[in-house]
Amino acid sequence: MAKKSVYIAYTGGTIGMRPGKDGYRPAPGFLADRMAASPELRRPEMPRYEIHEYQPLLDSSNMTPGDWVKIGRDLYANYHDYDGFIVLHGTDTMAYSAAALSFMFDNLAKPVLFTGSQVPLAEIRSDARENLVNSLLIAAGYAIPEVCLFVGHLLLRGNRATKVSADRYLAFESPNHPPLGEAQVDLKIHRQRLLPRPSGTIGFTDVGRPQVIDIRLFPGITAELLRRLLAPPLQGVVLHTYGVGNAPDDPELLEALRQATADGVVVVNCTQCLHGSVQMDSYATGRALRRAGVISGYDMTPEAALTKLYVLLSKHSDAGEVRRLMGRNLRGELTHGRR
């Protein structure tokens, strides 16, 4: 049987960095050389892989929606030639890029795995080796029709993942969805948790430049500040509210939100809590938000809500359609109802 082959898009991140005078920096060619010199990647049970190194290699803190488009177009152009795909990416904004790509692809039938590391591959105590070896085995060996993230032994749905630790190897969690797989003594993929295999052909949507922001409520936020943030040409907001989706029921603040939604801004309510779902009918303060035209983000991560807004606002000019689709489960990113 022919060896499976995996396409690796190397975008940057700690995994391939080298220490320099001013701290860790990506260095062209360095990661590919290191990988070529790794005996474990040449073992017969490993798939063939091809690395496409991006220029410039980025610390993922510098990524923009334009980079999601670059990665997505690259994978789309190579889609039919490989069995699976790995995106080597910095961990800082990996959850955003993984979520964005999950919404940009239609009918994805092959695995796309984002991975990286907290410590560069070149260092003795690096987590990169484990992440790379497991990602290659999963991308080549399992029919996973999803964009996923593999870091620190867990395979997570990309649009459910969030970075929760700056200094642990297990840097990501998927707080409202169980892992899709685990690399323990055995490599276990939970098939019943995967999205169904699509029947249509692969499609891809570019993201344009919709005006989208994140606003985190805090005690003391004023209507005046909110009005300034919500001013045109804004099109979409992820509003990080308290608990099950509550905000102060100060009439002026609510009026600022009502005015924005009446002007066509899509305001999505996501909780600041890591676990659980927005339930806007539980408290008077949540109901007031609903009356102001704010829609529920249910249990979406803020990363998923923000990138979904980017993609939907790039695809649809009608704010009503964007509002409707924001509340629908498109790629396994949200669960309706009380958990």
Binding stretches for ligand ASP (CB under 6 A): 12-14, 59-61, 90-92, 116, 118
Rounded Cα gap, residues 241 and 290, in angstroms: 13
Q: For ligand ASP, which is the closer residue by CB, 59 or 67?
A: 59
Q: For ligand ASP, which is the closer residue by CB, 117 or 314?
A: 117
89, 133, 80: which is closest to 108 by C-alpha? 80
Residue nearest ligand ASP, Cβ-based: 90
| Strand-pair partners of 181 | 155, 189
Q: For ligand ASP, which is the closer residue by CB, 53 or 299?
A: 53
Q: For ligand ASP, which is the closer residue by CB, 86 or 312?
A: 86
CB atoms under 10 Å from CB of 67, counted, come to 20
147, 155 contact by CB (below 8 A): no
From the CB of 116, what's the least distance to ligand ASP, in Å? Answer: 5
Q: Is 162 a catalytic residue?
A: no
| Active-site annotation holder among 11, 14, 115, 162 | 14
From the CB of 53, what's the least distance to ligand ASP, in Å? Answer: 15
From the CB of 14, what's the least distance to ligand ASP, in Å? Answer: 3
From the CB of 61, what's the least distance to ligand ASP, in Å? Answer: 5
From the CB of 35, what's the least distance to ligand ASP, in Å? Answer: 16
Rounded Cα gap, residues 183 and 295, in angstroms: 37
Task: For residue 223, give both structure tokens.
Answer: 């209507």
323, 61, 311: which is closest to 206 by C-alpha? 311
Q: For ligand ASP, which is the closer residue by CB, 13 or 248?
A: 13
42, 165 contact by CB (below 8 A): no
Rounded Cα gap, residues 76 and 38, in angstroms: 29
165, 171 contact by CB (below 8 A): yes
Q: For ligand ASP, which is the closer residue by CB, 91 or 279?
A: 91
Rounded Cα gap, residues 161 and 302, in angstroms: 10
107, 193, 188, 189: which is closest to 145 by C-alpha? 107
Rounded Cα gap, residues 302 and 40, in angstroms: 37
From the CB of 165, what's the least distance to ligand ASP, in Å? Answer: 11
Active site residues: 14
